[in-house]
Chain A
Amino acid sequence: MNIAESTINGIKVLSLEGVLNAASSPKFKAYLETADHSGPMIINLEQVEFIDSSGLGLLVRLARQKKSANEALKLAKMNDRVKRVFEITQAHSLFDIYDDIQAAAGN
């Protein structure tokens, strides 16, 4: 899995690419824990080809952290395969989900 970081409108955008499962989520977890990721954040899921409950658990954990810090976390460009996992678990009710990154960044 690859993680690319960029900024739009001063908002951090993490673009994930590849597979987010039990084998790869530790890498994402470590990435989130090593640097300072405070402030609003957008996660671009367009290039995520597969996510399972381990990857989902990590995003839910991040959502909880952002919520308690009163910071925005937005998910953008979910493809159908990713969306299905959110729907099955009802996890979509925890996130603001956008179909466009610019719109998520308030542009």
Chain B
Amino acid sequence: MTQILSATLKAELRNSRIAANIARSTAEVFAEERNFSGNVQEFGHTFELAVSEAFTNSVNYRDPSIKDITVTIGFEEESNALTASVTDRNAPFNIHPPEPEITEYPEGGFGLFIIWKLMDEVSCSREGQRNVLSMKKFISRP
């Protein structure tokens, strides 16, 4: 795995758009470089949406007592896959929340559910005081 970029943003909701845009551009360039046979825009949208959800979660669950808190987004490439990671200093969380029951008109709880639906591999590791949420999508089989 080779790191493509890492960006640290202030943990504010308005920055989720920046994080998502970085994710989309990175994923589109990655897919184009690899001559991705599928839909490049859709691949870009996958990362845009997943990172938007992850970043928003990080901001929403931030510890308000810490000043100038940040969230870091990173991208790592392999020959056949791209991984986005979102690192925050929040409390550990459950990456398998219950699925929202759509017939009950839920207003929330879609975030991680969407990430799971979009990505091939989702994992969360605890590194020191940090949560690293990794989201991997393959463009082809090895």
Contact = CB atoms under 8 A, between A and B. Distances in A.
Interface residues of B, number: 27
B102 A90 contact: yes
Given A88-B118, A89-B100, A93-B102, A22 B60 contact: yes
B54 to A, nearest CB: 10
Interface residues of A, number: 25
B111 A53 contact: yes
| Secondary structure of the A contact surface, majority rule | helix
Contact of B110 (A63, A67, A89): A89
Interface string B3-33: 0000000000110110010000000000000
| Secondary structure of the B contact surface, majority rule | helix
A88 B107 contact: no
Interface stretch (B44-52, B67-75, B88-96): B44-52
A94 B111 contact: no
A90 B42 CA distance: 18
Interface string B105-119: 111101101100110
Given A84-B45, A90-B102, A60 B107 contact: yes
A30 to B, nearest CB: 15
B102 A94 contact: yes
B135 interface: no
Contact of B105 (A52, A53, A61): A61
A56 B52 CA distance: 13
A15 interface: no
List the 4 closest A-B pairs by CB distance, nearest first: A53-B110, A64-B105, A57-B107, A23-B13
